[in-house]
Amino acid sequence: MGQPIAASGVARGLTLGTLAILAPLLAGCGSGQAPAQAAPPPPTVTVAKPVKRTIVDQDEYVGRFVAIDSVEVRSRLSGYLASVHFTDGQMVKKGDLLFTIDRRPFQIALDQARANLAQARANLAYTENDLARGQQLVRDKTITEQTFDQRTQAKRVAEAAVAANEALVHQAELDFNEFSELRAPVAGRIGDRRVSPGNLVPGGLSGSTTVLATIVSTDPIRFEFTFDESAYLRYQRVARGGADPASGWAATPVKLKLLDEPAFAHDGHMDFVDNAISQTSGTIRGRAVFPNPTSLFTPGMFGRIQVPASPAYEALLVPDAAVGTEQTRKYVLVVDGENTARQKYVTLGQAVEGLRVIKDGLAADDRVVVNGLMRVRPGVKVTPQEQGAPATAGGPTAKAN
């Protein structure tokens, strides 16, 4: 019984001794440190100096085309419509024949007026001869002064009758030769006919007469839009140079684009600004004129107009992608002489072909981060890589923001 116990003690002692020997080795392995990792290099960013351009700020407004001349064709005479001499929607020139009213009744009225005029002239000739005879008779005391006065009065009445009948003949000639044929008063595009031949057309000078067709002029064409009071003051100073000449607005060039066009490709000029600001809306109406030789612009069509909002000035521009947003403020990151990114808050202007006008907060020699903005933070070292600045020659005017 004693030997097994002794063996067990020897084994336990051996195990404890082994652990005592291995413990320092294990402790040494556990306390060893991993090799230190190298710090990452500064992020590489692309920098460029701001572009200098001559800029004219532009404002944009939505407006509508309006015809310079718009006429409702109505008949001055009542009668039956005899014929139509145009195709619906065609272009017409001033003086082109459009409608013909049945002329036969007006021919009869003209013949009757001429006959009445001939009768009045014959009566005038008789009274003139009678008065001439009366002058000798009154000197010979053959007739009384009263009878001579009656003959004089008869001659004056005959002269008035001739004048009245001449006026009636002139009216009948107008009805027959001009008013029975309706011609285009202006050049432009005519709409569709509202009355077919054979219908009775009521005429006259009142507004209740039947509209036979409408004509709108197309070349040139006007464009009307509205803007607020502050814009009115700004445009007035730009157009008039601080003075007050009456023709200041006429010299203001404007540009226009249609709703499906990407750029302002149509040139025109201002020709009118209303004389009062609306008390209800606080806006004033402006008008520009554009050439329209191909009839592309149609009255009633919408478009966008670009109006100069400032004199020409030298501006700094950076790519729009280089501008960051911090709550309500805009900023750009610039790299200083120690290659450290610095934040500069800026005041933005309008956009010009992917570039953004910087009105305040940036210097011309600043190196602006134009690529890699999301990889850096203010105060971080960077590796700047210069980028060729965009071409500065022939800068366009600024588009509206």
Q: Give pLDDT tens digits for 365-396.
A: 888 888 887 888 888 888 888 875 443 334 44
CATH topology of domain 46-56+313-386: 2.40.420
pLDDT at 104: 93
Domain-wise residue ranges, the chain: 46-56+313-386, 73-93+183-215, 103-179, 221-308
pLDDT at 241: 59
Superfamily of domain 103-179: Helix hairpin bin (1.10.287.470)
Banded pLDDT at 193 (limits 50, 70, 90): very high
Pairing of strands 302-308, 58-66: antiparallel
Tell me if 313 sits within 8 A of 19, measured CB to CB. Answer: no
Who has greater pLDDT, 38 or 185? 185
Residue 397 has pLDDT above 60, yes or no: no
Residue 292 has pLDDT above 80, yes or no: yes
Residue 166 has pLDDT above 90, yes or no: yes
Q: Give pLDDT tens digits for 63-81.
A: 999 999 999 999 999 999 9
Who has greater pLDDT, 94 or 42? 94
Kindly report whether the global pTM for this prediction surpasses the value 0.85: no
- Give the span between the Cα atoms of 181 and 192, in whole angstroms: 18
Q: What's the whole-number mean pLDDT along residues 269-275?
A: 88
Domain at 221-308: CATH architecture: Beta Barrel (2.40)
Longest Cα–Cα distance of the chain, Å, equals: 204
Who has greater pLDDT, 385 or 2? 385
pLDDT at 184: 94
Tell me if residue 175 falls in helix, strand or coil.
helix
Closest CA to 303 of 290, 312, 314: 290
Q: What's the whole-number mean pLDDT along residues 10-36?
A: 49
Closest CA to 307 of 291, 293, 286: 286
**Percent of the chain with pLDDT strictly greater than 90:** 38
Whether a cis peptide bond, with omega within 30° of 0, leads into 220 is yes
Terminal Cα distance for the chain, rounded: 104
Q: Give pLDDT tens digits for 172-190.
A: 999 999 899 999 999 999 9
Q: What's the whole-number mean pLDDT along residues 216-227?
A: 93
Residue 25 has pLDDT above 90, yes or no: no
